[in-house]
């Protein structure tokens, strides 16, 4: 089968990859909180944890140590979807994802494994959220091949800013050879402190530098950092907080 080809697209879920080459920009927080906000609106949501650190799994109340080591999407039929207290379904990550680049190096169609998995399930859901690792390795490329849209969280500081450019380059490359309809739905400032001149300058530069929308920022909040210890999102632990309201507003924008 030629590179980039695969099963026909199945009508159903909108597939959204949350990606940035830089770590510490609230990718996982955005993935699970946005998923929860969509579920609040009555949407059927599946989250795929594609990061070997398994932060999305842990933050949704699933201990990665309890997940069978073969429950990863690149191992095919053994992948197991489970329910969570947030009302979203989850494909949890395991430490085996850390060896994905090596394990899949010689495998035919390795860039299409997540797309093929999603194609089997997207008819059951309204949204599939792909929580990517902080790298542009094989699982992140898989996510870009599988996705309809990409959302790029960015902490408004210099190093995170550089990560945006790298993701944009990866998106352009995937558009050329595998997924021409892939689009960047927006850049999302996270951990945002509007009192900081530097943060405001970075946000303004993002709007000028990249020809994609810069969405309303998610404010910095200690409540967001506390939520994973409970296995819930901030929508459950601090539903009236500014960050919770911002994520609900983000869900409204994407639904519109």
Is residue 154 within 8 A of residue 163, CB to CB? The reply is: yes
| Look-up of token digits 């980039």 | 4
Query: Which residue has 């191992």 as its token pair?
Result: 75
Please, what is the angle between helix 158-177 and helix 138-146, to 10°?
Answer: 60
Let me know: does 133 contact 51? Beta carbons within 8 Å: yes
Query: Do 179 and 147 form a contact (C-beta atoms < 8 A)?
Result: yes
pLDDT of residue 152: 95
Check if the beta carbon of residue 218 is closer than 8 Å to that of residue 188: yes
Q: Of 185, 190, 196, which Cα lies nearest the Cα of 243? A: 190
| Cα three-residue angle 23-122-43, rounded to 5 degrees | 80
CATH architecture of 14-255: 3-Layer(aba) Sandwich (3.40)
pTM for the predicted model, two decimal places: 0.89
Compute the mean pLDDT over every residue in the chain, rounded to the nearest whole number.
85
What gap in Å lies between CA 209 and CA 96, rounded to an integer?
Answer: 37
Q: Give the whole-angstrom CA distance, residue 254 versus residue 207.
A: 18
3: pLDDT strictly greater than 60: no
> Where residue 7 falls among pLDDT bands split at 50, 70, 90?
very low
Helix axes 197-209, 158-177, angle to 10 degrees: 20
Every domain of the chain and the residues it spans? 14-255
Quick: pLDDT tens for 177-233. Answer: 999 999 999 999 998 887 888 888 888 888 888 889 999 999 998 988 899 889 999
- Six-digit token string for 99: 């060896």
Q: Tokens representing 71?
A: 């429950």
Q: What is the mean pLDDT of residues 157-170?
A: 81
pLDDT, residue 63, reads: 83
Strand partners, 131: 18, 49
Question: What are 99-127's pLDDT values in tens digits?
Answer: 565 566 556 567 788 898 899 888 999 99
Instruction: Please identify which residue in the block is written with the tokens 């998923």.
Output: 35
């Amino acid at each position: 089968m030629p590179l980039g080809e695969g099963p026909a697209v199945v009508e159903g879920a909108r597939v959204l990859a949350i990606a940035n080459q830089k770590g510490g920009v609230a990718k996982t927080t955005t993935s699970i909180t946005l998923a929860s906000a969509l579920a609040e609106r009555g949407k059927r949501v599946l989250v795929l944890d594609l990061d070997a650190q398994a932060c999305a799994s842990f933050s949704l109340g699933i201990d990665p140590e309890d997940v069978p080591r073969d429950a990863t999407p690149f191992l095919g039929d053994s992948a197991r979807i489970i329910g969570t207290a947030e009302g979203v379904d989850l494909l949890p990550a395991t430490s085996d994802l850390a060896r994905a680049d090596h394990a899949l190096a010689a495998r035919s169609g390795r860039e299409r494994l997540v797309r093929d998995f999603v194609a089997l399930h997207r008819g059951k859901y309204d949204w599939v959220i792909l929580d990517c690792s902080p790298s542009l390795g094989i699982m992140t490329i898989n996510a870009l091949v599988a996705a309809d849209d990409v959302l790029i969280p960015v902490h408004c500081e210099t190093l995170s800013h550089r990560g945006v450019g790298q993701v944009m380059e990866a998106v352009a490359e995937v558009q050329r050879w595998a997924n021409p309809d892939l689009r960047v739905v927006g850049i999302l400032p996270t951990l945002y402190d509007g009192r900081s001149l530097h943060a405001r300058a970075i946000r303004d530069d993002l709007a000028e530098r990249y020809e994609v929308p810069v969405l309303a920022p998610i404010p910095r909040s200690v409540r967001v950092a506390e939520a994973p210890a409970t296995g819930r999102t901030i929508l459950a632990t601090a539903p009236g907080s500014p960050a919770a309201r911002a994520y609900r507003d983000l869900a409204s924008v994407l639904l519109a």
